[in-house]
Structure formats: structure tokens, C-alpha cells
Structure 1
Amino acid sequence: MIVEFGAFALVLALMLSVLQTGLAAAGRVRRSPLLAGGAEGAALAAAFATALAFGALIFAFATSDFSVSNVAANSHTDKPMLYKVAAAWGSHEGSLVLWCLVMTGFGAALTRARGLPFGLKTSAVGVQGGLGALFLAFAVFTSNPFARIDPAPLQGASLNPLLQDPALAIHPPMLYAGYVGFSVTFSLAVAALIEGRAFSGFWPAWGRWMRPWALASWVFLTAGITLGSFWAYYELGWGGWWFWDPVENASFMPWLAGAALLHSAVVTERRGALAGWTVFLALLAFTFSMLGAFLVRSGVLTSVHAFAVDPERGLMLLGILAFTAGSAFALFAWRAPQLKGGGLFAPISREGALVLNNLFLTVAAVTVLLGTLYPLILEAATGATISVGPPYFALTFVPLMVVAFLILPAGPLLAWKRGDAKGAMQRLAVAGGLAIACGFIGWLAFEPKKALSAAGLAVGAWLILGALAEVVERVRLFRAPPSRVHLAEVGRRLKGLPLGAWGMTLAHAGLGLFVLGAVVETGFKTEAAAPLPIGGEVHAGRWAVKLDKVEIVEGPNYLAERGTLTVTSTDGRAFPKTVTAERRFFPAGGQTTTEVGLDFRGLDDVYVVMGERRMTQDGQRAWTVRVYDNPWARLIFLGSFVMALGGMLSLFDRRLRLAVGGKKKRPSPLGGEGGSRSETDEGALSARSISEAGV
């Protein structure tokens, strides 16, 4: 009964989303607050109905209701409860319901946004409802998660063992919150194109309204990608953290577009410039998100991350992508002449630095797009197959980002409108000197052939030290500096810095930590593999790994060969530690997986994988053991989470969440739209507060 209730709730959510779109359109055309309020009510109800449907799906998985086809294909009675629940979004159908839940949830949150003019908000709610209706229709008519089977099997087929992991229980919701969060910036961009220049200062105010949504989506996406990368690192057993897999790229492209959007929105908010470019990026970020959904679900890719579904449903997703993106970009082309103007600025200025930042991020996203789609296009056109892997991205993507990283610390030190490049470089002189010293020390400490890696060390140090230099400069300039600055005064100034400033510093410093980790782990990692009998030993870099014993253990839904190994340092400077590595066999699906043994050594990882059992020439049993010495691997994931933490801290900045305005009503100046004083004053005041507060 609960399953049928869930199916009904999903259909109801679809009808409510359609109603939301219709009421919003009618309310916008008739300038009726009553109809607009009805659209907002429908948005809240659609989110509630989708949540009920998703709850019913989780209930079916938790109770092992194998009469539901989706449950029978992705769950098993022997699975731990955590993975039964996580299996609700481990399939195409279930993850699509999660996608719809996040989309309608963001739509409901949009109705609670304060300060938006009547026309802009109503149009955005309508567009968001239309997006929700499209994906809910796709779920209801082609990917029903509640479809029954008869007779029901006694046991399910179980979820892919690789997905039975705590990180993968959290990764999809975080990733989808990032993916789908950009639907709000998409809706606000389309609404802005519909509205045009509604009043003086519209675009700065629009940039302010849009930026928190973009920032929240970028934070979620950063955390989701990091969790997915960490899962691939310790679960797949190949020793790396990023392979430029097409599905990995599908999440990386909206991240790059979102980062560019955040920086462009700052210019639009602060100076009223780059409005057209910011709108374009807002459309592009969600378009990349929908492209990722198509690549993962269409069956055109073979990947451990992909859902293997039939091409017909993939074509329907492609149709949704073509309709939504095509309509939005056509509207953008039509409205483009009205998006010109805004504040003028010199090439050497903070605006100029942000424009340059946007250029590199956008071109980098295009290189990832080409590397991802070119093999698919070539195969479809000629039948030939080609592999585009890390060498392509090392030659195209990496140089672009290196140049962007070199420029990045100077941007916050330049003034708006017209900056002083010489002054900025002088303030960064100490950071630059220390960064060069770090690179030189790295070059001396490692082999001369690692010169590029040593240069990467200098770039990572430059980003971190540049972020610190920006804090020092903000403290010095926060108030007119006294002749002698005391520690108490410095502390007071540090405390007075806005959260947005600290968030930007953390994000840039986190990027530097990530670069340091990625450069050192990639450039200086070592590996070794050998068949080891009990008591055998293999050496990798600074570490020796000895196989102590192998035993058979029984898990909740698997059998495993568990190897116990001792890790010692070859130079005797580190104490020995014991790790375990496993080969697991899952009878329900007939699959075998590896469980990596990780020995955390400060910033470094000793990464151990136990392979198949074999017989040596002298008749002994041996197990293939691979060992990786991954220096500074911790910084890769730590830096990424510091970036997400910086973005989250910025979200709490008063200037991003402040809603102001009076309560007394008066006729709206926005073309007779029937708004209130609180609506219109909040819009005008938002634009004014932007110019006063800065970034």
C-alpha cells in the first residue's frame, strides 16, 4: 500500500509542478499576487509530494519489498540497513527521484527568498516548476521506481558491491544538491531575461540575489566531487584519486562553470558590469549539469560511475537537455542587446582580474568538454574508437589552470575600476619570494628530472601565501593604520573582517593545499607489486610491507580473504603499523571486490592492495600485493574540503543573506506589477547596499 502511495505522490508532484508553472505564468502576465501566491503554494506542495514519494521508496528498500522491481534489482535481505537505504538512490530510477526531490526542494526554497521583485520572483518560480515537471514526467513515464513484478523473488540481486560504502551513501545527495542547485541560478537567469532591465540598478541587485544560490550549489558540488574522488581512491584499488573518467568530467564541468559564475557575479553585483556574461554562465552551469545526467544515464559511456540504462531513455534525456538549454540560450540571444552596459573599468583592475579568471576557467571547461565528447562524436560518426585520457588533459587543461593560479592572488589586491599592478606585486613580493624558495627546495630535495613537480610546489605555495598576504593587506587597510599597530589593534581588525573575506581566503588557500597535494602525490609517488607468501615482504619507496597472515572472514553479505600486513619504514624513522586488506566475494551478485589497506602517515598514505591467490614455483601459496607510497595525498582531500568550507563560511556573510525593506505598502514602480513596498524597496536597497558594502 505504501508503494502505491509513493507512486501516487510522484504523479501528484508532477501535476503540482505543472500547476506551479501555469499559475506563475498567469500571475506574471496578469500581474496578480494571488496567482503568484498560488504558484508558490504549488511549489511547496510539489516538494512535499516528492519527499513522500522518496520516503515510500526508502521504506520499500528498508523492508526488502522485492515485489518492487527496483528493490529486487538493487537490494538483498543480507545487506546492512545503511546500504539498503543508500540503495534507494543507487539505481537509475531511485537516483532520478532523488534528483527530482532536490529540484522541487530548491523550488520550494526559492519561494521563501526575500527581496526579489514580484516579476522576477514569479518568473523564476515558474521556470523552476517547468524544470521540475520535465524531470518528474521523465521519472513517471519512463523510469517508474515503483513498478511491480510478479512473482516477487525471495531474494534480491543486491546493489553493486562497489557502491556499498559509507562515502557513496553521502556522495550522491551532496553531488545532486550541487548539480540541481544550479537550476535556481538557471531559473533566475531566464527570469532576468524575461524581465529585462526592470529598474535602474537591476543587474547589480540581480547579481546579489543570484550569488547565494550559486555559492551554495558550488559548495555542495565541491563536497560531492571530493567524496566521490575519495571513494574512488580507497575503494577501486587502483591507487589514484582522479582518472579523467568521462563521468568524473561530467561533474567537473559544472564545477568549473560554477566557479566562473561566482567570480563573474561579483563583478555584476559590485559594478553592474558583465551582466550578459554572468547570465550566460548561469545558463551554462545547469546545462552542464543536465549534460552530466545524460552522459551517466544514456548508456553512451562505460564507467563504474554510470547507470547502464537503455538508449531510448537516453534520447529522452537528450530531448530534455535540448529543449531547456535551447530555449534558454535562444532567449539569451534575443535579449543580448539589452544586456550591455554597466560600469566601465580599466584592464588593470579587480574587474579585469576577474574577467581574466573567467576566461581561463571557461576555456578550461571547454577543454574538458571536448576531451569528454570527442570520442563519443567520433565513434558515432565513423565507428572508430579513440581514448582520450590523462595525457590530453595534462597538455591542455593543466597549463590553463597554472596561468590562472599565477594570476589569482593579485586579483583581491587590485582596486575596483582602476588598479595598481605595481603596488599589488609589491604587496605580494614576500609571498612570491617564499613560493620560489619552496620550489627551489623541492627541486634540490628530489631528482632534477622532477623540475615540473618542483614548479608545481611553487604554484601551490604561491596560492597559499598569496591568500595570507591578502588577509594581511585587509587588516592593514581595514581602518586607517596608526603610526604603530599594536597586536590588540590587529586582533580587532581581524575580528572585524567580514565572513565573506575569510571565506574567500579559505577557498583560495584550500586550492593551494589541493595543488600541493596533487603535485607531490602525482610527481613523487612510487609503487611496487610482488607475489608474497606468508612472511614475504615488498618495498615501495620509503616503506616495507610484510604479509603476516591471511584468514577467511565472513561479513554480513560477503566472504573475504583478509590479509594482515605490517608497514615499516626502510630508514627506521617511523614506528611499524598494522593494516588489513581484503578480497571480498558477494554471493548474491557473484562479484569480487578489493578493500584497500590504508596506513596514514601524517600527510602521506601507504596504500596496500591484496590481489588473487596463486602458487609460487616452489609450491607455496602467495598473494599478489601491490603497495603505493602516496606522499601528501591527505592534502588533496583536505584542500578540497577547505575550499568547500570557505564557500560555506561565505554563505553566512551578512551581506549575502541580509533582507531589508519596509513594511508599508505602496504602488510598485516595476511596471505596475502589483508588488509591495517591501518587495520593491528590498530590490532597490539591495543594489544600493552592494555599492556601499563592496565584496
Structure 2
Amino acid sequence: MIPELGHFALILALCLALLLGTVPLLGSFRQQRQAMELAPSLAVGMLVFTAISFACLATSFLQDDFSVALVASHSNSLMPTAYKFAAVWGNHEGSLLLWSLILSGWTAAVALFSRALPLQMLARVLSVMGLIAVGFLLFSLLTSNPFARLLPSIPADGADLNPLLQDPGLVIHPPLLYMGYVGFSVAFAFAIAALLGGRLDASWARWSRPWTNVAWGFLSLGIMLGSWWAYYELGWGGWWFWDPVENASFMPWLAGTALVHSLAVTEKRGLFKSWTVLLAIFTFSLSLLGTFLVRSGVLTSVHAFATDPERGVFILIFLCLVVGGSLTLYAFRAPAVQSRISFGWMSRECLLLINNVFFLVATLTVLFGTLFPLLTDALGLGKYSVGPPYFNAVFVPLMAVLLPFMGIGPTARWKQDSSARWLRELLVPALVAVVVGALLPLISNQSYNIWVALALVLAIYLMLAMLRDLQTKVRNASSLVAGLKRLTPSYYGMQLAHLGFAVAVIGVVLTSQYAVEMDLKMSPGESQEVAGHVFRFESLERVSGPNYTADEGVFAITLEDKLVARLAAQKRRYMASGQVMTEAAISGGLWRDLFVALGEPIGDGAWSVRLQYKPFLRWIWLGPILMALGSFVTLADRRYRAGKVKATNADTDTGTDNAAAAVTGTHATT
């Protein structure tokens, strides 16, 4: 009965989505207030019924209802409760329902927290999101019904969830990732609503900006958790492989980074209106493209859902409708938008434009590398592989060139500035960064590495430039505390995000250049030195878990004859499926990671073993955490909590007082 209730609730959610996507939209064109006022109630109703449907599916998993095909295929009675719940979205049908639930949640949030918007604008935004929900709910009901029954032949027990997914990371990684993916639909909806109204002023950018920042923050956390999961769960010890499905989430993040910067310029100065709308369309389109790549069956990846390729046709049609329709609307409306506001080459606007170009080129680079093998295969031109060498050779230099501009951006003034002032403000930070960055590799235990030195110079320069900018903004205050209080949450969010980017750069470069990896044969009692650490294989035991048995190798790790860690790496065999998985053992810290993974038994008690020493690895994930925190901090800005959107100078050419602009710190998070 519970599955039928969930199925019925999903149908009702679709009906409400259809009403939301049509009635308020038509009312906005006919000036029918009652029709437009229905939008918030319909949005909340859609969330309620989608949540009921999701709860019914979760209940079926938790109660081991193997009459439901999805439960029988992806769960069994031996699985821990937490993984039974995570199994709800550890498959195509369930994850699609989670996507619809999160989309309904974003829609209801806009309805509840955007009451200050003009009714016509709110109705159009919610209607656009309702139409998006129609597409995904139809996809779920017509091709991916999560409540299909196995009647009358009900299995005594289920199969099993992929052991790779029986991990705490699965419990939180997909929901956070989807919060980012789906969250960009809000920016998309605001952009389409502005196009429908034919009014691309600064107001829509201000309304859209906090939602976009939050979506970008969630996506940052989701990507970070995916990288962390791959590092410790797959047994290879890497944190990023440029896998096509990894790229599918990375591309919206890159485009979204450009979008949050462009929104800042549109809100503050009324510039880049058409560009910002196009970025909003492009970012959400990349989110849909990622959905197609993961669910169409065109990719083979540990991250992808192995589904019937025919389902991909539905997503492809939906993708074409969304992208084609929005670009057609953009083609008709955008040319009418003209900005009379000017800015000089030496200005914050110009630097943010450069930032956008770099991130857009980086996005297109990743997009080309991801789609090229698929296109050549589809056209019968042969099978090609585009791997890390291509991405590293093209992507890394783009980010290296971007870092100096990130240091100048917050310091620069709106409309017009001078290179002489930039030099006066940033010369000392640049010189200190060059000296410190060049000398730091000399005091390490590793050989001098020019790439490490260059990365440290750029990252330290960015950090020092941020400190210099902070000093400049508070130096005229009566006290340090007073100066810090007058800075806005948007400014602090920007500082945190830029700091996170610098921290991630340091982690990526130091880990890539100084990591030590060894694959060797070891027997209990043997030792091996790795980067000054001695790994001793102490013992091998047989252990049991709730739904698996494992061979567990215990390793003692010493540094200068002092025990620093004792790690237990496992080779697991899951009872339900018989699959064998590697469970790595890791000793993590702020400065280094020690990694042990058991391979296969070789004979005579020996095992293949992977040992790794990775310096500053955690900084790679600390960076995105700081970036996400920065995006969330911006929500505290009172401009986004005001009852009404105040008029700005965005539609005039009067400019902004540079001193006031410096204090407000309205630069977007990055």
C-alpha cells in the first residue's frame, strides 16, 4: 500500500507542477492577479506531495519491502540502516526522485522567501521552475517509475547496493551535489522571467544573486565530497581523475563561478546584462547535460548510473527544449538591451570581465575534452580517449594566469582606476610573495621544484593582496573593530572564497609534485620506507562486518622510530553479491596523509600493497569548504533581507563613489 501511495503522490505532484507552470504564467501576461497569487501555494503543494512520495520510497527501503523492484535490486536485509536509507538515491530511479524533491524544495523556498518580489516577477519565476519540474516528474513517471512492483514473485531477500556506494560519503554527497545542480535552476528561472518581462535591469540580478551563491556553495561542497569519496573508497589514492562524470559536475561549477561574478557587476553597475542572462542559461544547461551524461548510458564510469540508453532520449529531448527555448527567447529579447554605462580598462568591471572569460574558456575546455570521445564514437570516427594529460596541459595554465587578476580585483575601483594605484597597493605583497614563495621549497625535505615555487608565489600573493585590501578598507576607521564592523557580509564572503581558492591551489600543487607512491609485494613482518616514514606490515587477520567478511592487514607506521599511526586496510567480500572491494586505511592530517591499500594475495602469505605519502592533501578539500562557507556568509548581507529592493544607480551613468564602493565590498564570491 505504501508504494501505491508514493506513486499516487508523485502523480499529484506532477499535476500541481503542470498548474504551476501554466496558470500563473498565463496570469502574468493577462494581468490576472488571482492566477498569479496561486503560484506560491502550488509551489508548496508540489513540495509536499513530492516529499510524501520520497518518504514512501524511503519507507519501502527501510522496511525491506522486496516486492518493490527498486528495493529488491539495490538493498538487502543485511545492510546497515544508514545504507538502506542512502540506497534510496543509490540508483537511477531513486536519485531522480531525489532530484525532483530538491527541485520542489528550491521552488517552495523561492515562493516562501521572495514575497518582496513584484507579484508578476515571482509568478513567472515559479512558473519556469514548475515547467522544469514537469519535465523531471514526467521522466520519473513515464520511464523511471521507482515504485514498480515484483508481483506475484517476491524475492526472499534483495540483491545488494553496489559496495562502492556503501559508504558514509554516499549519504551526504549526492544530496549536496544535487542542491548545487538544481539550485542553478533558480538563477535560470530568474533570467527567463526577466527575458519574458523584457526588463533586464539590476533588480533581477539582486534578487537572483543570493540564490545563485547558495547553489554554488552547495555544488562546491558536493564536488569536494565526491573527490574525498573517490580518494579513500576506490583504493587508488587519487583525488581527481578527470572522469567524464566528474567533469559533468565540474562544468556547472566553472560556469557558475563566472555567473556569480557577472551578477555582481549587473547588480552594482547595471553592466553585462545580456552576458549574465546567457551565463545563467549556460550554467543550468550544463547541469542538465550532466544529468544526460550520467543517466543516458553513454558513459562507463563508477559514478554513472548504468541505465537503458532509451531513457537518455527523454533527457536529450528535454535538454533540447530547455536550451533551445531559452536561447530562442534570448535571441529575441537580448538585442533590445543596451547599456549606456561605460567603464575603463583599469577598473573592477574590466577585471571581472577577464575573470568571466577565463572561467568560460576553462568550461569550454573541459566540455570539449568530455564530449570529444563521445562525438567521434557516435560519428564512427573511432574510439579516442581524452585523459588527464590534456586537461592538465590546458586547464592548469588558465588557472595560473587567473590568480594575479584575482589579487587585483578586490582592490580595484569601479568604473575607472589607475595602474599607479594598483602598483602602490600591491607592490609590497607581490615582492613578499615572490621572496617567500621562492624560498619555501628550499627549506623542505624535497628537491627544489620550480612549479611548486611558482604556485606558492601566486597563492601567497593572492592571500597577501587580500590582507592588503582588508587593511586599506579599515585604515580610516576610528578603530580596527569599527572598521571590521562596517564591512559587509558580501565582502567577508568574497575574502573567504578567494582564500579557499588559494588554499586549494597550494594543496593541489604540493600533493601533485611531492606525493610518493609505491606498489609492491609485502608479507607480514616486512617493512618499507616511504618519504621518511617506515611502513611495517604487522599482521593479517580475518574479520567480519554486518554484511561482509574481510582480510585485514595491520600496518604500523613510524617516523624517526616514533609510532605515528597504526592502520588497518581491508580486502572485503560482500556476502549478498560476492563482490570484492578494497577498503583503504588512511592516517590524515593538515600537513600530510599516509595511505595503505591491500591489493590481491600473491601467494606464500604475500600481498600486493599500495603505500602513499601525500603532503598537504587535505588542503585540496579545505579550499572548497572555505569557498562554500564564503558563499553562505553572503546571505547575511542585509541587502538580501530587505523588504524591498532599493533603487540603485545601475541604470544611470552617474557611477559610484569609489570610497563607498571600497567599503561595501560588493565583489561576488568566487
**TM-score computed with the length of structure 2 as normaliser:** 0.95
Counting only pairs closer than 5 Å after superposition, residues 228-239 of structure 1 correspond to structure 2 as 228-239=226-237
Q: CA contact under 8 A between 2:269 and 2:650: conserved in structure 1?
A: no
Measured against aligned partners, the alpha-carbon deviations of 1:266-287 in whole angstroms (never above 9, x if no partner) come to 1000000100000000111100
Q: CA contact under 8 A between 1:205 and 1:686: conserved in structure 2?
A: no
* Deviation, structure 1 residue 429: 2.0
Q: CA contact under 8 A between 2:491 and 2:665: conserved in structure 1?
A: no
Q: CA contact under 8 A between 1:128 and 1:184: conserved in structure 2?
A: yes
Counting only pairs closer than 5 Å after superposition, residues 307-346 of structure 1 correspond to structure 2 as 307-346=305-344
What corresponds to 1:357 in structure 2? 355
Residues 1:144 and 2:159 aligned together: no
Cα 1:307–1:342, aligned 2, differ >3 Å: closer, same or farther? farther
Unaligned runs of 5+ in 1: 483-488, 661-681
Measured against aligned partners, the alpha-carbon deviations of 1:418-443 in whole angstroms (never above 9, x if no partner) come to 01222123212222122212331244
Cα 1:448–1:609, aligned 2, differ >3 Å: closer, same or farther? closer
Give the whole-Å Cα distance in 2 for the aligned partners of 1:372 and 1:249. Answer: 7
Give the whole-Å Cα distance in 2 for the aligned partners of 1:542 and 1:34. Answer: 73
Counting only pairs closer than 5 Å after superposition, residues 121-136 of structure 1 correspond to structure 2 as 121-136=122-137
What corresponds to 1:45 in structure 2? 45
Residues 1:499 and 2:498 aligned together: no
What corresponds to 1:155 in structure 2? 157
Give the whole-Å Cα distance in 2 for the aligned partners of 1:597 and 1:694. Answer: 44
Q: What is the alpha-carbon root mean square deviation over aligned residues?
A: 1.8
The one-letter code of the counterpart of 1:125 is: L
* Deviation, structure 1 residue 86: 0.4
What corresponds to 1:97 in structure 2? 97
Q: CA contact under 8 A between 1:270 and 1:694: conserved in structure 2?
A: no
What corresponds to 2:23 in structure 1? 23
What corresponds to 2:570 in structure 1? 582
Q: CA contact under 8 A between 1:272 and 1:342: conserved in structure 2?
A: no
Say which of 490, 504, 514 aligns to 2:480: 490
* Deviation, structure 1 residue 330: 0.9
What corresponds to 1:640 in structure 2? 624
SS in 2 for 1:329: helix
What corresponds to 2:461 in structure 1? 462
Residues 1:283 and 2:266 aligned together: no
Q: CA contact under 8 A between 2:90 and 2:165: conserved in structure 1?
A: yes
Give the whole-Å Cα distance in 1 for the aligned partners of 2:411 and 2:637. Answer: 20
Give the whole-Å Cα distance in 2 for the aligned partners of 1:652 and 1:45. Answer: 28
What corresponds to 1:553 in structure 2? 543
SS in 2 for 1:432: helix
Counting only pairs closer than 5 Å after superposition, residues 363-378 of structure 1 correspond to structure 2 as 363-378=361-376
Cα 1:576–1:109, aligned 2, differ >3 Å: closer, same or farther? closer
Q: CA contact under 8 A between 2:269 and 2:649: conserved in structure 1?
A: no
Residues 1:515 and 2:499 aligned together: no
Give the whole-Å Cα distance in 2 for the aligned partners of 1:30 and 1:657. Answer: 30
Give the whole-Å Cα distance in 2 for the aligned partners of 1:500 and 1:164. Answer: 39
Q: CA contact under 8 A between 2:554 and 2:569: conserved in structure 1?
A: yes
Cα 1:7–1:683, aligned 2, differ >3 Å: closer, same or farther? farther
Residues 1:591 and 2:592 aligned together: no
Counting only pairs closer than 5 Å after superposition, residues 224-303 of structure 1 correspond to structure 2 as 224-303=222-301
Cα 1:608–1:127, aligned 2, differ >3 Å: closer, same or farther? same
Residues 1:606 and 2:617 aligned together: no
* Deviation, structure 1 residue 684: 4.3
Cα 1:51–1:342, aligned 2, differ >3 Å: closer, same or farther? farther
The one-letter code of the counterpart of 1:531 is: K
* Deviation, structure 1 residue 389: 0.9
Give the whole-Å Cα distance in 1 for the aligned partners of 2:158 and 2:382. Answer: 39
The one-letter code of the counterpart of 1:242 is: W
Q: CA contact under 8 A between 2:347 and 2:416: conserved in structure 1?
A: yes
Measured against aligned partners, the alpha-carbon deviations of 1:634-677 in whole angstroms (never above 9, x if no partner) come to 111111101111111112221223223xxxxxxxxxxxxxxxxx
* Deviation, structure 1 residue 61: 0.5
Cα 1:31–1:378, aligned 2, differ >3 Å: closer, same or farther? same
SS in 1 for 2:546: coil
The one-letter code of the counterpart of 1:228 is: G
Give the whole-Å Cα distance in 2 for the aligned partners of 1:381 and 1:170. Answer: 38
SS in 2 for 1:412: coil
* Deviation, structure 1 residue 451: 1.1
Say which of 619, 627, 652 aligns to 2:611: 627
Measured against aligned partners, the alpha-carbon deviations of 1:387-407 in whole angstroms (never above 9, x if no partner) come to 111110111111111111121
Counting only pairs closer than 5 Å after superposition, residues 390-409 of structure 1 correspond to structure 2 as 390-409=388-407
Give the whole-Å Cα distance in 2 for the aligned partners of 1:421 and 1:579. Answer: 55
The one-letter code of the counterpart of 1:42 is: L
Give the whole-Å Cα distance in 2 for the aligned partners of 1:333 and 1:206. Answer: 19
Give the whole-Å Cα distance in 1 for the aligned partners of 2:540 and 2:37. Answer: 66
Give the whole-Å Cα distance in 2 for the aligned partners of 1:548 and 1:634. Answer: 27
* Deviation, structure 1 residue 576: 3.0
What corresponds to 2:110 in structure 1? 110
Q: CA contact under 8 A between 1:274 and 1:342: conserved in structure 2?
A: no
Give the whole-Å Cα distance in 1 for the aligned partners of 2:407 and 2:467. Answer: 9
What corresponds to 2:378 in structure 1? 380
The one-letter code of the counterpart of 1:27 is: G
* Deviation, structure 1 residue 448: 6.2
Counting only pairs closer than 5 Å after superposition, residues 174-185 of structure 1 correspond to structure 2 as 174-185=176-187
Q: CA contact under 8 A between 1:372 and 1:388: conserved in structure 2?
A: yes
Give the whole-Å Cα distance in 1 for the aligned partners of 2:579 and 2:464. Answer: 48
Measured against aligned partners, the alpha-carbon deviations of 1:203-232 in whole angstroms (never above 9, x if no partner) come to 111110110111010010001110111010
* Deviation, structure 1 residue 683: 6.2
Measured against aligned partners, the alpha-carbon deviations of 1:134-154 in whole angstroms (never above 9, x if no partner) come to 110000010000000121111
* Deviation, structure 1 residue 317: 0.5
Q: CA contact under 8 A between 1:528 and 1:539: conserved in structure 2?
A: no
The one-letter code of the counterpart of 1:95 is: S
Give the whole-Å Cα distance in 2 for the aligned partners of 1:393 and 1:449. Answer: 25
SS in 1 for 2:310: helix
Measured against aligned partners, the alpha-carbon deviations of 1:13-59 in whole angstroms (never above 9, x if no partner) come to 01110011121122112212211112321111111100000000100
Give the whole-Å Cα distance in 2 for the aligned partners of 1:463 and 1:205. Answer: 32
Q: CA contact under 8 A between 2:549 and 2:574: conserved in structure 1?
A: yes
* Deviation, structure 1 residue 694: 6.3
Residues 1:57 and 2:57 aligned together: yes
SS in 2 for 1:359: helix
Give the whole-Å Cα distance in 1 for the aligned partners of 2:58 and 2:598. Answer: 35
Measured against aligned partners, the alpha-carbon deviations of 1:174-197 in whole angstroms (never above 9, x if no partner) come to 000000000111111011111012
Q: CA contact under 8 A between 2:530 and 2:613: conserved in structure 1?
A: yes
What corresponds to 1:485 in structure 2? none
Give the whole-Å Cα distance in 1 for the aligned partners of 2:553 and 2:237. Answer: 18
What corresponds to 1:654 in structure 2? 638
Counting only pairs closer than 5 Å after superposition, residues 668-687 of structure 1 correspond to structure 2 as 682=645, 684=647
Give the whole-Å Cα distance in 1 for the aligned partners of 2:288 and 2:99. Answer: 11
What corresponds to 1:427 in structure 2? 425
The one-letter code of the counterpart of 1:628 is: Q
Give the whole-Å Cα distance in 2 for the aligned partners of 1:27 and 1:54. Answer: 31
* Deviation, structure 1 residue 342: 4.7
* Deviation, structure 1 residue 9: 0.4
Q: Is the deviation greater in 646-655 or in 627-636? A: 646-655
**TM-score computed with the length of structure 1 as normaliser:** 0.92
Give the whole-Å Cα distance in 1 for the aligned partners of 2:218 and 2:229. Answer: 16
Give the whole-Å Cα distance in 2 for the aligned partners of 1:408 and 1:686. Answer: 25
Q: CA contact under 8 A between 2:179 and 2:218: conserved in structure 1?
A: yes
SS in 2 for 1:560: strand
What corresponds to 1:450 in structure 2? 449
SS in 2 for 1:382: coil
Q: CA contact under 8 A between 1:585 and 1:591: conserved in structure 2?
A: yes
Give the whole-Å Cα distance in 1 for the aligned partners of 2:563 and 2:499. Answer: 32
